[in-house]
Amino acid sequence: MFLTKDDKILINEIAPRVHNSGHWTIEGCSISQFEAHIRAVCNLGLKTIKPKVKTAVMVNILGLRNGTSKPRGIEKAQQIDGIYVHIYGKFKTRKERKMGHLTAIGKSLDETKTRAHKARNLITI
């Protein structure tokens, strides 16, 4: 959105959907952004969203090549404490295409980020 000099608001884009940056709420909050969105759209009443954990870190899983999707290493990544892997089931991968994400939960930011990146490095698409 833009505010003009004469106090008019111009809207560039409306995307009434959840956003990739909030996918960590699945494991990190009492209500995920997906549930909150559906509750709002369906007039089901909004609930207070509270953190369930001290720290949650989300890392995107992006394609590194063009071709058929062949997810590997998911089981090894999920063996790391507090790691949750979400693969989106896309059949084709391309460079920089979002193929999934993982969320790490923990007690300190540094430790949680370390585990998140360790898990991400185990996954290939």
Check which CATH number belongs to the domain holding 56 and give it: 3.30.470.20
Q: What would the pLDDT profile of 32-67 be if each residue is shown by its tens digit?
A: 999 999 999 999 999 999 999 999 999 999 999 999
Residue 37 lies in a domain: yes
Whether the CB-CB separation of 36 and 47 falls below 8 Å is answered with: yes
Helix (H) or strand (E) holding 38: helix 33-41
Residue 8 lies in a domain: no
Whether this prediction's pTM lies above 0.85 is answered by: no
Residue 117 lies in a domain: yes
Residue 3 lies in a domain: no
**3 state SS of 56:** strand
> What mean pLDDT, rounded, does the chain reach?
94
Residue 20 lies in a domain: yes
The count of structural domains within the chain is 1
The pLDDT-based confidence of 15 (bands split at 50, 70, 90) is confident
User: Domain of 85?
Assistant: 15-122
Residue 4 lies in a domain: no
Is the confidence at residue 14, as pLDDT, over 90?
A: no
Residue 2 lies in a domain: no
Running DSSP on this structure, what letter comes out for residue 32? -
Which strand ranges, in their side-by-side order, compose the sheet holding 83-87? 55-62, 98-106, 83-87
Residue 28 lies in a domain: yes
